Structure 1
Amino acid sequence: MVIKRTFIDGDYGQIHLRIAGPDSHKIQQPPLLCLHMSPKSGRIFARFMQQMAVDRLVVAPDYPGYGESDCPPASPAVSIEDYARGMWQVVSALKLSRVDILGYHTGSLVAAEMVHQSPDSVNRIIMIGAPVFSAEVLAQVKSYFQPVPLDTAGTRFITMWQRVLEHGGKGNTLELAAESFAENLRAGENYEWGHHAAFAYAPVFPQRVSEITQRIDVINPDDDLKLPTRAIEGWLQQGEIHERPAWGHGFLDYDTDNAVKDIRELLLLQ
């Protein structure tokens, strides 16, 4: 399946997106909007899209400031609400009516806010990681994800590389880790903006989830959000948590076949 790239106009300039899909007469399922984690881009879905798009349109945008999308201003700080509006601008520009949403970490928060902003425009939601943070843990992750200043020793890049390796799944190769590391660099000095937006939204995230009447299926890999994700179960109106201990970050690349199979099946659950 060929992935095409294009841009649409958003509030902060152009939004870059990847699109894949079959000929129109072969489309049998609703469009799937894929929302990336921070500080990555829609590239994390590229291999996944090639297989997922055999019977539906699959769209993976870059949030403003990530990948090839234009950057928002430094002030006021960009928010999950801003990202969600940007993703609805993508949906509108592509003339889509109702979509399924696949959110990954930050993307799970953006998905919840998208439903809040336009509840009748969403069919099903899958979240890869859906953290409910205590005040103590939220303070810890805020401190952990502060920008690392540039220096001649390359401390920022050493720290980034170590974190990519630390959170990667058992099937993650060094080549895949290098691809992931490169995405971190594309955001430049703004690489932690997405995390900061997510942490600002974290206190309202469970409430937003509790208001969603559509089914939400939560994939819980063995990654850095495994424990706080389990706490989302009590906030789900419909849906459940699906533990995936064999997966870590990068599973969409190193176990693409099973990831596509799993997500297809979850999207069809009643």
Structure 2
Amino acid sequence: MPALPDGSHVTEGAGSHPDGFSRHFARAAGREFHYLRTGSGPVAVLLPAFPWSAGSLAPLAEALAGEFTVVVLDLPGCGNSHSLGGSPTLGDYAGGVAGNLGALGIDRCHLYGIETGAQVALEVAARHPERVARVVLDQLPLLEDSQRSELAERSCPRFDPSWDGAHIAAIWWWCREQSLFRPWYRPAAETRLDADEPPPAVLQRRAADVLRAGDGYGDGLRAAFAHSAAGSLGRLEVPWTLVTSPADPLTPPGGRNPAPGPHGTVIDLPPGPDRWSQLRALFDATGSADRSLQIPARTSAAGAIERGYLTTTSGQLLVRRTAGTGRPLVMLHASPTSSALLEPLMRELAGDRPVIALDTAGNGDSDPPPGDGPFDIGEFAAIVNEALDVLEVGELDLYGTHTGALIATDVALARPGIHRLILEGVTMFDDGDRPDLLPRAELLASYLPTFEPTWDGTHLLAAWHFRRAFTTYWPWFRRTRDGIRWVPMVELPAFHRGFVEVAKRLDTYHLPYRAALAYPTADRLPQVGVPTLIAAHPDDPLQAHSPEAAGLVPDGHWDALPDDITAVAALYEEFLTGP
């Protein structure tokens, strides 16, 4: 099996990022970092503001892509990049970025940062001038000590999860208020920003970024506010441009602008539709930056789960994998979450074999299938099979849970070389002849609400309560006595982790779900020709009919799952090592 691909060009139709972007992972100093890449020419590296992900700078990357190889980094602890841990300083972040550049083989580049990302860019340029041909500092916070202390104390409230979803509303409020007032926590006429409010889709992405960063979302902000940018700017020896704006969300009115000196210029660019193209004019394509970067080789530490992207005809799929030899175990998650929730079981099952888990197309960090749908399970299975071909997987064992179980079934029907199949929680529905089952037509009509972003964030709170209802009723929309789930409640931290994955894909979460609701389980299971274990936890709403599903498979076996994950892994391992 080849090394895990770092990622490659997104094919036409991939909808996660603008056409021409590709997503990648690499490793530096023992930590994974994530970046977007587009274009060709001299290398320009862009740093977003904390805690936003690389997608926030997609418009500027698009503007530069005609003349530059553009790399947009997720800063440590943001987006899909690992955090630095502890209480990092701005110097730690600058060192992390410099290490990332080294891992990508970038010796010298044009460097851009916005807001607190500009502080990181400034510090990289000050500490590693040999790596920077020019640095553009967009809305660099130049603050007095008292202002920095106040921002460090008040700018990053805690968003502790609560069952009522109050933290979801608070996160949306925090994201939105930053576009209205300077600082966000002091709303007044004199602190109002002169700029358009971001559209709901942008606020949704920002809220998802905060959710993904978790408790550490404020680490980078606090590090930036603890550091005086003016001192670093004064000793900068590379060409620099400071870009100011009346919409700067951090620097108060009347904030200091330095004298340009021999290396610098200061310009003002007000907000507006042409701002990204105006920023483009500040980059010099004839400068002495590298004109290429490398895709670094990656070696996996024993027991570690590494992430990467596979490119298929439907776009990029995120893959998690542990190292090992022998017949791999491929795992497919339940919708609408992602393979992140399979990581504990992956670690239990890893041993000497490789374990591979994919984010289903349209869930987690994988691109949705091209087109508007609806799609069927066979189409999702075809994407999985294509991904396994990219990984050069021959013989394998296969596991799927809930929607993933149905996709795994169709993979098994289409792919040779499957040794054993595990299906955890199998759906069966009533098509008019099984009153003991849930009616398929009702589920298709009511199970999948839409969550179009709204200016006030009520869609995100509705999504939280939608997922919350799954823990108390089955199906979630049948909120009556006969729908009550008399099972132990899921713990709040685990529930919140699952919601973070759902929030990434509110626009496409429903695509695999709808395919699962339409799947002809009773017709497909009798066609499975490999030994199959169907299992479920006692509190799984799909447990009631899973034993019946096992009886439909010619070589089917049923088992109830224990509560302890180590015991679950032992049960699965015993089955997988059978003849």
**TM-score category of the 2 structures, normalised to the smaller one:** 0.7 to 0.9
Change beyond 3 A, Cα 1:87–1:264? same
Change beyond 3 A, Cα 1:224–1:59? same
| Aligned partners of 2:551 and 2:557 also within 8 Å | no
C-alpha offsets along residues 27-83 of structure 1, whole Å, 9 cap, x if unaligned?
A: 3x5210001111011112111112211111100001111111112234232321121
- For residue 239 of structure 1, what is the aligned residue in structure 2? 556
The one-letter code matched in structure 2 to 1:65 is G
Change beyond 3 A, Cα 1:84–1:44? same
Equivalent residues in 2 for 1:3-14, closer than 5 Å: 3-14=305-316
Deviation, 1:171, is 7.8
- For residue 317 of structure 2, what is the aligned residue in structure 1? 15
Matched, 1:210 2:517: no
Give me the whole-angstrom Cα distance separating, in 1, the residues matched to 2:548 and 2:347.
33
Unaligned runs of 5+ in 1: 248-254
Deviation, 1:206, is 2.3
Matched, 1:265 2:561: no
**3-state SS in 1 of match to 2:507:** helix
Give me the whole-angstrom Cα distance separating, in 2, the residues matched to 1:163 and 1:41.
17
| Aligned partners of 1:145 and 1:192 also within 8 Å | no
C-alpha offsets along residues 124-145 of structure 1, whole Å, 9 cap, x if unaligned?
A: 0000012222225222332342
Give me the whole-angstrom Cα distance separating, in 2, the residues matched to 1:170 and 1:164.
9
Determine which of 99, 102, 110 is the counterpart of 2:396: 99
Determine which of 422, 435, 444 is the counterpart of 1:142: 444
Equivalent residues in 2 for 1:67-146, closer than 5 Å: 67-118=364-415, 120-135=416-431, 137=438, 138-146=440-448
- For residue 518 of structure 2, what is the aligned residue in structure 1? 200
| Aligned partners of 1:164 and 1:181 also within 8 Å | no
Deviation, 1:268, is 2.6
The one-letter code matched in structure 2 to 1:89 is E
| Aligned partners of 2:535 and 2:546 also within 8 Å | no
Give me the whole-angstrom Cα distance separating, in 2, the residues matched to 1:207 and 1:181.
33
Give me the whole-angstrom Cα distance separating, in 2, the residues matched to 1:171 and 1:4.
31
- Which region of structure 1 is more displaced relative to structure 2, 160-169 or 129-138? 160-169
The two structures, once aligned, show a CA RMSD in angstroms of 2.2
The one-letter code matched in structure 1 to 2:493 is E
TM-score for the superposition, normalised by structure 1: 0.85
- For residue 31 of structure 1, what is the aligned residue in structure 2? 328
Equivalent residues in 2 for 1:160-171, closer than 5 Å: 160-164=467-471, 170=488
Unaligned runs of 5+ in 2: 1-302, 433-437, 475-484
C-alpha offsets along residues 170-213 of structure 1, whole Å, 9 cap, x if unaligned?
A: 48421111101111111122211111011222x2x222211122
The one-letter code matched in structure 1 to 2:554 is Q
The one-letter code matched in structure 2 to 1:9 is T
More contact order relative to length (CA 8 Å, sep ≥ 6): 1
TM-score for the superposition, normalised by structure 2: 0.41
Deviation, 1:149, is 4.2
Matched, 1:182 2:500: yes
**3-state SS in 1 of match to 2:530:** coil
Change beyond 3 A, Cα 1:258–1:144? farther
C-alpha offsets along residues 201-231 of structure 1, whole Å, 9 cap, x if unaligned?
A: 2x2x222211122111011222121223232
- For residue 203 of structure 2, what is the aligned residue in structure 1? none
Give me the whole-angstrom Cα distance separating, in 2, the residues matched to 1:112 and 1:66.
19
The one-letter code matched in structure 2 to 1:21 is A
Give me the whole-angstrom Cα distance separating, in 2, the residues matched to 1:165 and 1:181.
16
More helix by proportion, 1 or 2?
1
Report the identity percentage.
Answer: 23
C-alpha offsets along residues 236-268 of structure 1, whole Å, 9 cap, x if unaligned?
A: 101211123x54xxxxxxx33222112111213
Give me the whole-angstrom Cα distance separating, in 1, the residues matched to 2:368 and 2:552.
33
| Aligned partners of 1:218 and 1:240 also within 8 Å | yes
- Which region of structure 1 is more displaced relative to structure 2, 123-132 or 139-148? 139-148
| Aligned partners of 1:131 and 1:230 also within 8 Å | no
| Aligned partners of 1:14 and 1:69 also within 8 Å | yes
| Aligned partners of 1:3 and 1:20 also within 8 Å | yes
The one-letter code matched in structure 1 to 2:343 is A
Structure 1 segments (4+ residues) deviating >3 Å? 148-153, 164-172
| Aligned partners of 2:471 and 2:490 also within 8 Å | no
- Which region of structure 1 is more displaced relative to structure 2, 41-50 or 69-78? 69-78
Change beyond 3 A, Cα 1:266–1:165? farther
The one-letter code matched in structure 2 to 1:268 is T
The one-letter code matched in structure 2 to 1:6 is G
Change beyond 3 A, Cα 1:49–1:165? farther
Give me the whole-angstrom Cα distance separating, in 2, the residues matched to 1:269 and 1:141.
37
Deviation, 1:12, is 1.4
Change beyond 3 A, Cα 1:48–1:165? farther
Give me the whole-angstrom Cα distance separating, in 1, the residues matched to 2:499 and 2:328.
29
